[in-house]
Amino acid sequence: MSDTARQTGSFLWRLAHGRSLELGPAAVIMGVLNVTPDSFSDGGRFLAPDAAVEQALRMVEEGAAIVDIGGESTRPRFAPVEAAEEQQRIMPVIEAIAARSDVLISVDTWRAETARLAVAAGAHIVNDIWALQKDPEIASVVAETGAGAVLMHNSRDRETEPDLIADQFLFLSRSLKIAREAGIGAEHIVLDPGFGFGKETAEINLELVARFEELHALGAPLLAGTSRKRFIGTVTGRDPDHRAVGTAATSVALRLAGAVLFRVHDVAINADALRMADAILAQRSRR
């Protein structure tokens, strides 16, 4: 295993509101909070603001350093919502969490205006499933606010390269160029290979797990977002509500391959699994 994959180094991720987060020495968990009626595994459970805030605080207690809040489902064949509805769902939740906790808040959106309002309300990170390539104004919002940015590879609705890693480099290199031209510093960027987003078969997603270390050549910290994804269900035979153990297995594999940030629904089980992965990495680094 390469030195890069061991993640013995440290990267200080610069975020909005003067905050930062150290990535590398220990796995960091981003808890998923879908304030939607139709997300693939937890749709409707946290649509009410009070329920969403309590879930956020529960995830913090279980070990999440970041809570990622989304107001539009991004599951396959999802029904898009208008920006106003997305904002109506998430803004009260962001404001309430910011008032009750110092946890880092991420907003899961591709819309520039939603991102701008969310950061003004207390969010620190913009998590864009289109990696700055859908709304031409969102890169400027990230640059102006100093937010951290998660740029995710997305294979939906476009022609892709035959080799999945070549396509990762093609798509994400374009996003990194957009970020540079907008004035977003490298210290603000994390990359996400986008498990499940246009990657329709279990074989493709498993290949992405197996070849994950190749993505370090992009030169940015890497996020793993496998939580409850369909390919885990294909392998385990479990429905979305019972894929926590399968998710934790992929979290460990990806941590050993160099991922530093993990976006998950089931925080406690992944926190335990990642502590074990970190202990293994620490032992290897001492040898």
What burial class does residue 81 get, using C-beta atoms within 10 Å of its C-beta: 0-12 exposed, 13-18 middle, 19+ buried? middle
* Structural domain total, the chain: 1
Which is higher by pLDDT, 104 or 43? 104
Answer yes or no: is pLDDT of 99 > 70.
Answer: yes
Asked whether 70 and 111 are in contact (CB, 8 A), the reply is no
Q: Are strands 11-14 and 20-23 parallel, antiparallel or unpaired?
A: antiparallel
Q: Is 177 a catalytic residue?
A: no
Quick one: angle between helices 49-62 and 267-286, nearest 10? Answer: 30
Q: How confident is the model at residue 287 (pLDDT cuts 50, 70, 90)?
A: confident
pLDDT at 188: 98
**What is the domain-level CATH number for residue 228?**
3.20.20.20
Q: What are phi and psi of 192, to 5 degrees?
A: -130, 120
Q: Give counts: helices (H), strands (E), the chain.
A: 10, 10
What is the DSSP track for 3-60? Answer: HHHHT-S-EEEE-GGG-EEEESSS-EEEEEEE-SS--TTTTTTT-SHHHHHHHHHHHH
Of the residues 199, 229, 230, 243, which is catalytic? 229
* Tens digits of residue pLDDT in 85-98: 999 999 999 999 99
* Tens digits of residue pLDDT in 28-71: 999 999 998 754 555 556 768 899 999 999 999 999 999 999 99
What's the pTM value of the predicted model, to 2 decimals? 0.93
Asked whether 126 and 116 are in contact (CB, 8 A), the reply is no
Domain that holds residue 98: 3-286
Q: Is 229 a catalytic residue?
A: yes
Structure tokens at 100: 């009750």
pLDDT at 260: 98
